[in-house]
Amino acid sequence: MASSIHFLDVKGKPLLSRDYKGDIPSTMLDRFPLLLLENEEANMMQPFIHHQGVNFVYISHKNLYLLAMTKKNDNVMQIVIFLQKVIEVLTEYVKQLEEESIRDNFVVIYELLDEMMDFGCPQVTDSKILKEYITLDYYSLEKHKMLAPPAAVTNSVSWRQEGIFYKKNEAFLDVIESINMLVNSTGQVLHSEILGRVKIKSNLSGMPDLRLGLNDKGIFNEAGSSNAKGIELEDIKFHQCVRLSKFETDRIITFIPPDGEFDLMSYRLTMPLKPLIHVECKFKIHSNSRIEILARVRAQIKRKSTANNVEIMIPIPEDADTPKFKSDGGKIKWKPEESVLVWKFKSFQGGKEYVMKTELGLPSVNDEDVSAGEIFKKKPIKVNFLIPYFTTSGIQVKYLRINEPKLQYQSYPWVRYITENGPDYTIRMK
Partner 1 sequence: MSDAKCFTRLKASEIKTELETLVESKKANGTHRLTVRRQILKKIIANINLNNSDMVHLFPEVVDTVLTEPYASDLACKKMCYKYFEAFGAARPEGTLMCLPSMLRELTGTGDAYARSLILRCLAGIPLKQVAELLAEPIRGLISDEDPLVRKTACFAISKLYDCDAKLAARHNLIGLLNDRLYDENSHVVASALASLSEITEKNNTMKLVVNDSHARNLLTVLHRCNEWSQCYIISALTAYVPQLADDALFVVEKLVPLLRHANTAIVLNALKCIIYLSNYVEDITDAMPVLPKRLGNAMVSLIAKQPELQFLALRNVILVLLSKPHLLDLDVKMFFCKYDDTLYVKDTKLEIIYLLANAHNLKIVLKELEEYATEVDVTMARKAVRAIGNLAIKLPRGANACVQLILDLVAVDLPHITQEAVVVFKNVLRKYPREFDSAIQTFIKYTDLAVTALPSDANPFVNHHAPEADPDAVAAIVWILGQYCATIDGAVTILDRVTRDFLTDTIDVQLITLTAVTKVFLQLPSKDSEALLIARLKLATEEVDNPDLRERGFFYWRLLSSFPQDASYANAKQIVMNKLPVISTDSDKLDVAILEELELNIGTLASIYLKPVKQVFRLARTRILPQSACLVRKPRPVANDQHDALTRKISPINNPDLRANLELHGSYAGRAGSRDDFSRSDDDFVESFRETSMSSSSSLGLNKGIAAIGNVNRSLTRTGSMIGRKLTLKKN
Minimum gap (Å) between residue 50 Cβ and partner 1: 7
Span 179-238, contacts to partner 1 by CB under 8 A: 182, 190-191, 195, 234-238
Span 379-398, contacts to partner 1 by CB under 8 A: 379-380
Q: Is residue 198 within 8 Å of 263, Cβ to Cβ?
A: yes
Residue 41 is a binding residue for partner 1 (CB under 8 A): no
Known binding residues? 331, 333, 335, 344, 346
Looking at the Cβ atoms of 321 and 367, the one nearer to partner 1 is: 367
Looking at the Cβ atoms of 84 and 327, the one nearer to partner 1 is: 84
Minimum gap (Å) between residue 32 Cβ and partner 1: 14
Looking at the Cβ atoms of 83 and 204, the one nearer to partner 1 is: 83
Helix axes 76-94, 106-116, angle to 10 degrees: 140
d(CA 150, CA 161): 7
Three-state DSSP state, 122: strand
Span 232-291, contacts to partner 1 by CB under 8 A: 234-240, 243-245, 247-248, 263, 265-266, 268, 270
CB atoms within 10 A of CB 90: 24
Q: Is residue 39 within 8 Å of 46, Cβ to Cβ?
A: yes
Minimum gap (Å) between residue 347 Cβ and partner 1: 27
Looking at the Cβ atoms of 80 and 285, the one nearer to partner 1 is: 80
10 Å CB burial of residue 117 (0-12, 13-18, 19+) is buried
Residue 62 is a binding residue for partner 1 (CB under 8 A): no
- Reference 237, options 264, 215, 257; nearest CA is 264
Three-state DSSP state, 94: helix
Q: What residues contact residue 150 under an 8 Å CB cut-off, 6+ apart?
A: 129, 132, 133, 161
Span 143-172, contacts to partner 1 by CB under 8 A: 143-144, 146-149, 153-154, 156, 158-159
Interface with partner 1 by CB under 8 A: which range of 118-126, 280-288, 305-313, 393-401?
118-126
Chosen residue from 10, 107, 223, 271 binding partner 1 by CB under 8 A:
107
If you count them, how many residues does the chain have?
430
